[in-house]
Each structure stands twice: as C-alpha cells, then as structure tokens.
Amino acid sequence: MTPAPVPGRPASATRFVLPGVAGVIIVAVLAFIVQNRVPVKLTWLFWSFSWPLWLLLVVTIGLSLVAGQIMLMLRRHRRRVARRAVRRGDA
C-alpha cells in the first residue's frame, strides 16, 4: 500500500529523498565508527572494562535517551493526575 501523495509535491519525490537521506546517515555512522575505534578503559566503583570509544558513546547516548523518556513519562503522568484532580474538584 503506497501513501497518499502530498499536495504540491510530485509523488516520486519521496521515493528519491528518503533513500538519499538514509544513505547519508549510514555513511555518517560508518565514518563515526571508523574514526572512533580506539579502546577506552572505563573504571566505575569496582568494575573496570575496556570498550571501543564508539560503542561507549552509543551506549551512553542510548541510556541518556531512555532516562530522558522515563523522566518525560513521569512528568506527563503527574500533570495528567493533577488535571484530573482539578476537573473533579479534589485540588
């Protein structure tokens, strides 16, 4: 099933732009990995291990994104609970 064409833009434009953008992102990621292959020693509390710099950066960014999403979910939940309390007249 193909998506509906966007008014004012040829239907074939998306077919060529998205693979091009994906290709640029893949090349950038591969260049990042190749340039950051040096092993880095990480010591935290009583753990010590060595990882390539690119892997350490990707894991750190991933954990940060997960932590940020959790914080946003908690904030949304608190706001939703507060709004419900105001609507019911509890606050």
pLDDT tens per residue across span 14-71: 677 888 888 898 999 899 889 989 999 989 898 998 999 999 989 999 999 999 999 9
Residue 37 lies in a domain: yes
Residue type at 41 in one-letter notation: K
Residue 6 lies in a domain: no
Tell me 10's DSSP state: -
Calpha distance 18→1 (Å, rounded): 17
User: How many separate domains does the chain show?
Assistant: 1
Residues 6 or more apart whose CB falls under 8 angstroms from that of 42 comprise 48, 49, 50, 51, 56
Residue 35 lies in a domain: yes
Residue 8 lies in a domain: no
Q: Quick one: pLDDT at residue 22?
A: 87
Residue 59 lies in a domain: yes
Q: Quick one: pLDDT at residue 40?
A: 92
Residue 84 lies in a domain: yes
Q: How far is CA 27 from the centre of its chain?
A: 18
- The alpha carbons of the chain give a radius of gyration, in whole angstroms, of 23
Residues in the chain: 91
The whole domain housing 27 covers 13-88
